[in-house]
């Protein structure tokens, strides 16, 4: 019979030869292999002393972006929460008052925005769903913690600080943006 792929192997139930039944040649061969591995380069990365390099579009912890003037972009539309397969996102929306234009870009904003990082699977669907380019995943890793409650990230830890802006240009290359809006 002709095989479909070139990966199939012919199996046989033939009796082992005497040489194979003694086991010793195979054992010595195997021990030689393991001995060679002692001198091989180690694969261990000693995190956190060393860090392994991550791509620019690594899907790590989230950031809620501000616009160029420093106002929050999120309009609490809830699309990210709907898109989230892990149901990790919750929010409470509020109306922007007079005089808060510098804080919030849209007339409606999220007064509470929480992501449960224990539920999140870092799939990036929230980033894809957001019509306001407000939420992004970043290169940063999620730090470990002793308390479960500390894994619920609120706006205090999600919104990007005005003095240290997070660069997401690598995630927003023209092709990505085009693709996103042609889909809809």
> Which residues of the shown chain bind another protein in the complex (CB under 8 A)?
27, 30-31, 33-35, 37-38, 40-44, 46
78 binds, among another protein, ligand SF4, none (CB under 5 to 8 A by kind): ligand SF4
E strand map for the chain? 62-64, 89-95, 108-116, 135-137, 152-153
Asked if residues 114 and 87 have their Cβ atoms less than 8 Å apart, the reply is: no
Of the two residues 20 and 87, which places its CB atom closer to ligand SF4 in the complex? 87
30 binds, among ligand SF4, another protein, none (CB under 5 to 8 A by kind): another protein
Asked if residues 93 and 123 have their Cβ atoms less than 8 Å apart, the reply is: no
Long-range contacts from 175-181, C-beta under 8 angstroms, 24+ separation: 180/128
Of the two residues 35 and 181, which places its CB atom closer to another protein in the complex? 35
Q: Cα(100)–Cα(107) distance, rounded to whole angstroms? A: 9
**In the set 84, 159, 160, 171, which binds ligand SF4 (CB under 6 A)?**
84
Residues in contact with ligand SF4 by CB under 6 A are 74-80, 83-86, 88-89, 91, 110, 115, 120-126, 129-130, 132, 134-135
């Amino acid at each position: 019979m002709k095989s479909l792929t070139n990966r199939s192997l012919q199996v046989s139930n033939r009796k082992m030869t005497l040489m194979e039944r003694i086991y010793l040649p195979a054992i010595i061969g195997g021990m030689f292999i393991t001995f060679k591995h002692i001198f091989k380069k180690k694969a261990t990365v000693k995190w956190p002393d060393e860090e392994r390099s991550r791509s620019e579009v690594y899907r790590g912890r989230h950031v809620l972006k501000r616009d160029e003037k420093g106002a929050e972009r999120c309009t609490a539309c809830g699309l990210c929460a709907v898109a989230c397969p892990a149901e990790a996102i919750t929010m409470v929306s509020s109306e922007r008052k007079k005089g808060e234009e510098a804080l919030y870009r849209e007339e409606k904003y999220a007064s509470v925005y929480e992501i449960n990082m224990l539920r999140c699977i870092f799939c990036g669907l929230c980033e894809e769903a957001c019509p306001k380019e407000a939420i992004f995943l970043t290169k940063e890793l999620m730090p470990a913690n002793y308390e479960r409650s500390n894994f619920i990230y609120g706006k205090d830890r999600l919104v990007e600080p005005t003095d240290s802006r997070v660069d997401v240009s690598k995630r927003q290359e023209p092709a990505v943006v085009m693709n996103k809006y042609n889909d809809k």
